[in-house]
Amino acid sequence: MTQKKIALVTGAGTGVGRAAAVTLAKNGYDVMISGRRLEPLQETLDEITGAGARGTIHQCDVGDPDAVRAMFDACIAEFGRLDVTFNNAGTGAPPCELDEITDDQWLTVVNANLNGVFWCTREAFRVMKAQSPQGGRIINNGSISAHTPRPYSIAYTATKHAVTGMTKTTALDGRPYDIACSQIDIGNAATPMTARMPQGVPQADLSMKEEPVMDVQHVADAILYMANLPPDANVLNMTVMATKMPFVGRG
């Protein structure tokens, strides 16, 4: 019997995180799911176990480095190893003029989207480097905003650009240990976070326009593809987006 691979997914209570965790579970992975709210995590876990996979919940604020270390230690204690980490947890600030964002809003986004990805990457790197056989794969949720901002999004855009640099550095530093690092940049997947898209969102010219969305399952399928690559292959960056969203072209 082929041993199942082990995945850890942050921000797994809803949206992209839930879709990715369940899809991995349906395709040969046992999964530790993480988030701050227990109720949606339990709903995700029910889908994972319903798919015949082994799953476990670990409540964690990824902005707390001690809690993140404890989560990865718990994963190893539960499953014995870690093959894939999907750094999905993140947040945004309310849209506002650049000079109006508060210190607390800025720090909240930086702590979740940048510090949290770093804490999780550092711990994943630690356990993947130490385990036998050595190696694994870290997948970061970058976003279209890792390339091009929306208006009034300084904190979110800055952190997502930083994730791109972290992805590249991790991919480089992981080479001696068979640790691959990938980034998926998502444009308008239909999740609670994008529920406002059909009602209109700010454009580059500051007008408000409806934007199309796509099924979040397409994102989960892409993550599964990235996760299943052998150690000698990597998708460094992948953009998965609603075909007709206003990303490619002049603003």
Delineate the domains of the chain, giving CATH numbers in brackets.
Answer: 5-241 (3.40.50.720)
Q: What digits encode the pLDDT tens for the residues 75-132?
A: 999 999 999 999 999 999 999 999 999 999 999 999 999 999 999 999 999 999 999 9
Question: Which structure tokens are listed for 212?
Answer: 């199309």
Question: Which structure tokens are listed for 182?
Answer: 């990938």
Query: Is 156 designated active site?
Result: yes
Nearest to 20 by CA among 162, 113, 111, 141: 141
Q: What digits encode the pLDDT tens for the residues 64-88?
A: 999 999 999 999 999 999 999 999 9
pLDDT greater than 80 at residue 244: yes
| Integer Cα distance of 7 and 4 in angstroms | 10
Beta strands in the chain (DSSP E): 5-9, 29-35, 55-59, 84-87, 136-141, 179-187, 201-202, 208-209, 237-241
Question: Which structure tokens are listed for 47?
Answer: 């889908």
34 Cβ neighbours under 8 A, 6+ residues apart: 8, 9, 10, 11, 12, 41, 57, 58, 59, 60, 62, 71, 89
Q: Would you give the DSSP letter of residue 4? A: P
**Whole-model pTM over 0.85:** yes
pLDDT greater than 80 at residue 198: no
Q: What is the mean pLDDT of the chain?
A: 95
